[in-house]
Amino acid sequence: MAATAVACGSDGGSNEESSSGGTVTLEFAQWWAPELPEGSFDKLMTEFTAQNPNIKVKLLSGPYASTKQQLVAGAASKTLPDVVGLDGAWVSDFAKQGAIADLTELMADAKYDSGQLASQIKIKDKTYMVPVVNFVYPLFVNNDLLKKAGVTTPPTTRTQFLEAAKKVSALGGNVKGWALPLDTAVPNGVQNDVMSWLWASGGSMLTEDGKANLTSDQVKGTVEFVKSLNDANVIAPGSLTMKEQDKVEKFTTGQVGMVIDSLAHITLIKKNNPKLNFTVTPIPAEDSYTGKRGIPYASWGIGVSNSSKHKAEAFKLVEFLMSKQTNAQLSTLANGFPGNKTATPDFTKSDPLFKTAFGIYQAGYPANEFVGLPKSEDLMRSFDEQLQLTLTGKQSVDDTLKKAQESWSSDLS
């Protein structure tokens, strides 16, 4: 089993067969392995190979950002590896390009019972992605930094968050209250770190029929709140070029007191800084809001390359990862929630913060309006570009939302 940097083959995956026994080698590109306990994903692949001796798996593992860049290039050139880890934001574009296979057809061919799946990402009634593990994005809080700043309990409202961020930033040095990654090359900070404030207060960026609704009072209030954090100088420097992994690193090293982050990073954070004392808590809502809070989420999704010469074997790997036992094991390792609705994570072996996050999840509802939207990456990027103009004092909030609305309206028409 080889773990290498992510790369896209020139012929739609490895598509190699050994000279003896007709063994198939599948290339599987994903960002999951680096975020799991070391060697754990390789062990799962070893289990798969033991159950399917004629199929070998070559893991192509890398960070999310580089994986995304490689897969976008591979999708455009029809050279994706056989099996690919997917973000829901990529699915519409990849499907329109004909880069990923119709899983509905593969499930039918394999006589697979899709009723066990918690969800499927579909485009025009065809499934192109199956969420393997789902992750919520709560607020990560550095307990020691907040205590040192005189903040006794994690903030639950936007006003409390701003005040806590100010107090942490007042500690001086290189410490700030919050980190906001807005690199337009990987603009998922708009989804995870900006719109999450909207969803936490029960808001929506879309109309009931799925059109852009960026000039609403709720979206305006969200952007004005983010701007207030920027104006108060409580955001870690370098936001305009910061990527998600930079945010995680700043939190891990104690440079920021709070971040909105994926549960998938709990293991990584504790591995890199075992002494960090942190917890997870719901994202603060508008001061007057009393309803259920939307919980931002993302998925480790899986798909099959449309150019793979071994789609049946590739789907066997999908089946394995979605099986009740394997899915429960993987979600436990990843501190996520299973994609197989019959699977149950083992709370006794998982990090205690996972159980805390599960309580947050149960008290709210999953919210990510970008999943499945056409050109969702472009939508994030266009919003990001306008938001940056506001944060740098070059444009008003109203103008930002008006221009973003115009851009989104053409993409969502």
pLDDT of residue 179: 98
How far out from the chain centre does Cα 4 lie? 22
Amino acid at the residue 243:
K
Q: Which residues pair with 29 in a beta bridge?
A: 60, 84
pLDDT of residue 413: 67
Given this chain, do its domains 3-133+298-361 and 139-260+374-411 carry the same CATH topology?
A: yes
pLDDT of residue 6: 42
pLDDT by residue, tens only, the chain of 413 residues: 333 334 444 444 444 444 345 899 999 999 999 999 999 999 999 999 999 999 999 999 999 989 999 999 999 999 999 999 999 889 989 999 999 999 999 999 999 999 999 888 888 889 999 999 988 899 999 999 999 999 999 999 999 999 999 999 999 999 999 999 999 999 999 999 999 999 999 999 999 888 999 999 999 999 999 999 999 999 999 999 999 999 999 999 999 999 999 988 998 999 999 999 999 999 999 999 999 999 888 889 999 999 999 999 999 999 999 999 999 999 988 888 889 988 888 877 678 898 898 888 878 888 899 987 888 889 999 999 999 999 999 999 999 999 999 999 988 86
Model pTM score? 0.74
Amino acid at the residue 3:
A
Q: Tens digits of per-residue pLDDT, 128-185?
A: 999 999 888 999 999 999 999 999 999 999 999 999 999 999 999 999 999 999 999 9
Q: Which residues pair with 296 in a beta bridge?
A: 367
Tokens standing for 168? Answer: 């942490």
Total count of residues recorded for the chain: 413
**Burial class of residue 124 (count of CB atoms within 10 Å of its CB; 0-12, 13-18, 19+):** exposed
Long-range contacts of 232-236 (CB under 8 A, 24+ apart): 232/162, 232/165, 232/166, 232/169, 233/169, 234/162, 234/165, 234/166, 234/168, 234/169, 234/176, 234/177, 234/178, 235/176, 235/177, 235/178, 235/179, 235/180, 236/176, 236/178, 236/179, 236/180
Q: What does the alpha-carbon distance between residue 233 and residue 166 come to, in Å, rounded to a whole number?
A: 8
**Burial class of residue 317 (count of CB atoms within 10 Å of its CB; 0-12, 13-18, 19+):** buried
* 3-133+298-361 is classed CATH 3.40.190.10: yes
pLDDT of residue 21: 56
The class of domain 139-260+374-411 in CATH terms is alpha beta
Residue ranges of domains in the chain: 3-133+298-361, 139-260+374-411
